[in-house]
């Protein structure tokens, strides 16, 4: 247990270093844009998160030492997998920050805190395998959580970190608020299970079509938060083309790793997870954008017009993927598609 704690808890040097860190005025300005690419600033990702939390929730919303301990220990509990990693966590939190900054007055401070933390923690301890893989091969986590397996594990890991000494960033809340906040985080993390997205979007669309969507109705509010979480989770599709393309490579690297394991066990993976079908990436992305991403951002834009840039950027990248397919059908993707930057 002591060894486990040693490897999962940040060192004093790490969290104290984060407390001393600061960002340039130029970076603070760039962070406030949806298309900001965090990639070149790896050493500052934790600083970005602290900046966003304090900017969105208030300078005195957290005890800084606890916030820094928590952030650095969360970082330590992300694995070195190609896509579901620390970089993805900060990117998702960055997108949520930008949505919240554009819908000020809609969500309480408690909700804003919960949503930013949920985004940072939504893939904690991800192993690079899908829920279906875990169930297919009777992984212990699948036995523990029968639905939304990894998402429930991510929430469990979040609570475990909060319970570490000096890490409970919500210790100043009363019991009722603390319970409410944990429920906000739990629902938000579970909502990142893409299998739940389709039903959620359908329900929201039906409410909008009927003119019945009421964000003050808690059930409706939970659905809106769900679509916000999906929008943030998929935000790489809204970045400038070079970033979108590189992230696509990371996603497929993870998928192919799972596909390789399936082949070793005599199971033929679906085309998306078969590295021998690399030429199908453009058509796969066109399908994903058309059936998942663009409808998601369209629904979000209908609810929050101030977040409509995400829909615009997703549509631009869909057009670029269509050009890739038309021009190459398997040739070099960088050469085949123009840049939208």
Mean pLDDT of 172-201: 98
Span 290-312, average pLDDT = 98
Which residues fall within 8 angstroms of residue 266, CB to CB, at 6 or more apart? none
For the chain, what percent of residues have pLDDT higher than 90? 93
The binding site consists of 84-88, 122-123, 233, 285
pLDDT above 70 as % of the chain: 94
pLDDT for 5 equals 56
The domain spans of the chain are 1-326
Closest CA to 39 of 288, 189, 239, 228: 239
State whether residue 162 is helix, strand or coil. Answer: helix
Mean pLDDT of all residues in 102-125: 98
The Cα–Cα gap between 294 and 313 comes to 9
224 has pLDDT over 70: yes
Query: Taking all residues of the chain, what is their mean pLDDT, rounded to a whole number?
Result: 95
Q: How large is the average pLDDT for residues 241-258?
A: 98
CB 294, CB 314: distance < 8 Å: yes
The whole-number average pLDDT for the span 286-315 is 98
Torsion of CA 237, 238, 240, 244, to 10 degrees: -10
Residue 235 has pLDDT above 60, yes or no: yes
Total residue length of the chain: 341
pLDDT in tens, 127-146: 999 999 999 999 999 999 99
CA atoms of 291 and 187, how far apart (whole Å): 24
Residues annotated as catalytic (active site), given as ranges: 84
Q: Token pair for residue 277? A: 């079908």
Q: How confident is the model at residue 327 (pLDDT cuts 50, 70, 90)?
A: confident
Work out the average pLDDT over 164-188. 98
* Structure confidence at residue 3 (pLDDT): 42
How high is the pLDDT of residue 341?
53
pLDDT for 116: 99
Q: Which CATH number fits domain 1-326: 1.20.120.1630, 1.10.1300.10, 1.20.120.160, 3.10.20.30?
A: 1.10.1300.10
Q: Is 122 left (phi over 0), alpha (psi -120 to 50) or beta?
A: alpha
Instruction: State both tokens at 313.
Output: 């950027």
| pLDDT tens digit sequence for 71-97 | 999 999 999 999 999 999 999 999 999
The pTM for the full model equals 0.95
Structure confidence at residue 328 as a pLDDT band (50, 70, 90): confident
Extract the annotated binding site for AMP. Answer: 84-88, 123, 233, 285
End-to-end alpha-carbon separation of the chain, Å? 49
Q: Is the pLDDT of residue 100 over 80?
A: yes
How far is Cα of residue 60 from the mean position of the Cα atoms in its chain? 25
pLDDT tens profile 56-78: 999 999 999 999 999 999 999 99
Mean pLDDT, rounded, for 174-183: 98
Of the candidate ranges 36-40, 162-166, 214-218, 329-333, the one whose mean pLDDT is the lowest: 329-333
Residue from 47, 4, 10, 3 nearest 28 by CA: 47
């Amino acid at each position: 247990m002591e060894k486990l704690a040693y490897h999962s808890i940040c060192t004093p040097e790490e969290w104290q270093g984060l407390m001393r860190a600061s960002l340039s005025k130029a970076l603070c300005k760039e962070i406030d844009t949806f298309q900001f690419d965090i990639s070149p600033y790896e050493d500052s990702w934790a600083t970005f998160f602290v900046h966003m939390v304090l900017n969105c929730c208030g300078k005195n919303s957290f005890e800084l030492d606890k916030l820094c301990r928590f952030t650095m220990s969360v970082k330590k509990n992300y694995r070195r997998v190609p896509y579901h990693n620390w970089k993805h966590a900060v990117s998702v939190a960055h997108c949520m920050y930008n949505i919240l900054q554009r819908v000020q007055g809609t969500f309480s401070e408690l909700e804003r805190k919960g949503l930013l933390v949920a985004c940072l923690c939504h893939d904690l301890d991800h192993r690079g395998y899908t829920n279906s893989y875990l169930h297919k091969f009777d992984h212990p986590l699948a036995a523990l959580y029968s639905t939304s397996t990894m998402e429930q594990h991510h929430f469990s890991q979040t609570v475990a970190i909060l319970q570490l000494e000096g890490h409970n960033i919500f210790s100043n809340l009363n019991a009722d608020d603390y319970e409410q906040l944990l429920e906000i985080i739990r629902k938000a993390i579970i909502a990142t299970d893409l299998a739940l997205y389709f039903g959620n979007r359908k329900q929201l669309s039906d409410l909008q079509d009927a003119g019945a969507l009421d964000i003050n109705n808690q059930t409706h509010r939970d659905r809106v938060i769900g679509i916000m979480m999906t929008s943030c989770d998929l935000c790489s599709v809204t970045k400038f083309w070079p970033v979108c393309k590189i992230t696509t490579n990371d996603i497929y690297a993870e998928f192919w790793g799972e596909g390789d394991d399936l082949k070793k066990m005599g199971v033929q993976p679906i085309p998306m997870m078969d590295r021998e079908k690399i030429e199908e990436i453009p058509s796969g992305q066109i399908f994903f954008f058309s059936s998942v991403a663009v409808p998601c951002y369209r629904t979000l834009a209908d609810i929050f017009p101030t977040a409509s840039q995400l829909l615009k950027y997703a549509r631009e990248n869909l057009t670029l993927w269509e050009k890739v397919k038309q021009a190459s059908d398997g040739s070099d993707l960088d050469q085949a598609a123009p840049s939208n930057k």
